[in-house]
Amino acid sequence: MDLVIGRVAKSHGVRGEIVVDIRTDDPTARFGPGTVLRGLLPRGGGEQNFTVTAARHHAGRLLLSVAEASDRTASDALRGVLFVIDSSEVDSGDDPDEFYDHEIEGLPVTTVDGVEVGVLASVLHLPGSDVLAVRTPDDREVLVPFVREIVPSVTTDGITIDPPPGLIDHPEG
């Protein structure tokens, strides 16, 4: 399975630099000069490798130069490219509060009282906070704020939630 580590937001300047929205906890290692990045091209355009020739931070964003884009026109064409790695290349380690999305997706979700809620379909990374998208047995989607007060336990065996009234109840009618 592919994990996105960055997305090309736009070009920058006239020398072919690209602005990358970082989606990794180790951008220095993932985007260092000499690194070959696997890119998924937008609109089903396939896959292409990109070799990083330079990387720098500017105004809170990562600017990359890649060998495959030497001018503004070439870098404009890269907008929307997703840089990915194989999920087998990463491991969250021994910290019980650290994990990657792919490590918990598919786990059973139950309440603190042991009631089955469903299965974690995905983790949504929204601007305000992360949200768990849980698929219920009756094929509904329940969105659960991923905060300690509501999600007190996440292990490799499952996720326990303490939902406030109304969060997972199926509306009548």
Q: Is residue 8 part of a domain?
A: yes
pTM here?
0.62
Q: What tens-digit pLDDT sequence spans the chain (173 residues)?
A: 677 888 999 999 888 899 998 888 788 889 999 999 999 998 888 999 999 999 998 887 899 999 999 899 999 999 999 999 887 676 655 555 667 777 888 999 999 999 999 999 998 887 778 899 999 999 999 999 999 999 999 988 899 999 999 888 755 54
Please state, in angstroms and rounded to a whole number, the distance separating the CA atoms of residues 35 and 53.
8
Q: Is residue 28 part of a domain?
A: yes
8 and 60 share one domain: yes
8 and 85 share one domain: yes
Kindly state the greatest CA–CA separation across the chain.
60
Q: Which domain holds residue 116?
A: 103-161
18 and 77 share one domain: yes
- Asked if residue 148 lies in contact with residue 154, where contact means CB atoms within 8 angstroms, the answer is no
Q: Is residue 172 part of a domain?
A: no
